[in-house]
Amino acid sequence: MFAVVRAATSSSSSRRSRRSPRNARARTATTSANPRSAAAPPEPMPARRKAAASASVGRITEATGESPRSWDTAIAAAVKASEVKAPIGVEISRMWAEWNGRRLSRYHVTVKIAYRQSLKAAART
């Protein structure tokens, strides 16, 4: 019923993949001609100062905030309300808003705020 017809192709082109080794050599020759690599060797990494090791622990607190303007200002209000001095991360737990019939009128968020708390040295007796 149905006959399978193959187009006549040369044997070398049918065996060769799209990325032949000959093309790969040409690509590497052009990419290795980078002027930066031919210049001076890379500079060594500068030495880091060792900071005084102070023991600290990560803590999380939860706060809520609200704003009539936007979600962003509601999140900023929540972080400010938590009284955390140096937050290192904020995770939004819940977002909700009040509906005014035609649009959102007030934005509310509950966030978890991560911060570091330094530990006091233990008193030796």
Instruction: Provide the percentage of residues in the chain whose pLDDT is more than 70.
Output: 62
Residue 79's CB: how many other CB atoms inside 10 A?
Answer: 16
pLDDT of residue 1: 47
Query: Strand ranges (DSSP E) for 17-103?
Result: 56-67, 87-99
Give the three-state DSSP class for 77.
Answer: helix
Q: How confident is the model at residue 72 (pLDDT cuts 50, 70, 90)?
A: very high
- How do residues 84-99 score in pLDDT, each as one tens digit? 999 999 999 999 999 9
pTM value is: 0.53
Q: How confident is the model at residue 58 (pLDDT cuts 50, 70, 90)?
A: very high
- C-beta separation of 119 from 55 below 8 A: yes
* Rounded distance between C-alpha atoms, residue 79 and residue 64, angstroms: 8
Residue 37 tokens read as: 């690599």
Mean pLDDT of 32-39: 57
Q: What are phi and psi of 87, to 5 degrees?
A: -70, 145
> Regarding the domain delimited by 56-118, which CATH topology (the fold level of the hierarchy) does it fall under?
Dodecin subunit-like (3.30.1660)
Q: Which residues pair with 109 in a beta bridge?
A: 65, 95
* Rounded distance between C-alpha atoms, residue 29 and residue 80, angstroms: 57
Residue 66 clears pLDDT 60, i.e. is over it: yes
